[in-house]
């Protein structure tokens, strides 16, 4: 295994087709939909980007930032989407590092905060929220992720802030 590399797709345009196909294989969304979003991003039509983790030339993790991730809360945008890490690469902090890369890149382009559509499993959401705040939460007065949606309802934000406050006190 080579050293993992975290990249912004705009900086590695040659990976666009491969990335669109990889995301399609993970989520079943048509490749063309990913290509459309990626083209808009790489042509400067939007700042909503795509982020990859590579092991050599193999994509082992990725996520995107899009206008809306299939929920009815149109007021909560943009959304982190398509978060996936290959099973044999899990528990290495890849998704968190990708999320941090996305948050920092989006913030550098004037896009902040981001929204994340969580699962219906509250325990799972809490685990991910706690991991995020322990490892990547910022202490600069800006929440890197403002809302976590669960079935279209905001349920985790206050818990995330409480976890962050508790970590600061520890």
Going by pLDDT thresholds of 50, 70 and 90, the confidence category of residue 66 is confident
pLDDT digits 0-9 by tens, 92-144: 888 888 888 888 888 888 887 777 655 545 566 555 555 554 444 444 444 44
Number of domains in the chain: 1
Instruction: Tell which residue, 148, 93, 143, has the closest CA to residue 120.
Output: 148
Cα pseudo-dihedral 95, 26, 37, 133, rounded to 10: -20
Which range marks the domain in which residue 40 is found? Answer: 4-169
* CA distances to 22, 66, 129 from 36, in Å: 15, 11, 30
Measured CA to CA, the distance from residue 101 to residue 160 in angstroms comes to 19
pLDDT digits 0-9 by tens, 7-29: 999 999 999 999 999 999 998 99
CATH number at residue 56: 3.40.630.30
- pTM of the predicted model as reported, rounded to 2 decimal places: 0.73
Lowest-pLDDT choice from 29-33, 37-41, 141-145: 141-145
């Amino acid at each position: 295994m080579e050293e993992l590399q975290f990249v912004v797709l705009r900086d590695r345009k040659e990976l666009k087709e491969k990335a669109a196909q990889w995301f399609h294989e993970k989520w079943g969304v048509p490749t063309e939909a990913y290509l459309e979003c990626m083209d808009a991003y790489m042509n400067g039509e939007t700042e909503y980007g795509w982020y990859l983790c590579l092991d050599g030339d193999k994509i082992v993790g990725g996520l995107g930032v899009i206008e809306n991730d299939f929920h009815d809360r149109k007021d909560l945008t943009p959304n982190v989407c398509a978060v996936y890490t290959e099973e044999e690469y899990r528990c290495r902090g890849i998704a968190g590092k990708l999320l941090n890369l996305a948050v920092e890149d989006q913030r550098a382009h004037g896009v902040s905060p981001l929204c994340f559509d969580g699962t219906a499993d509250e325990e799972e959401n809490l685990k991910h929220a706690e991991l995020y705040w322990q490892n990547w939460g910022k202490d600069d007065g800006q929440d890197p992720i403002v809302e976590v949606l669960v079935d279209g309802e905001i349920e985790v934000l206050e818990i995330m802030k409480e976890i962050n406050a508790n970590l600061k006190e520890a």
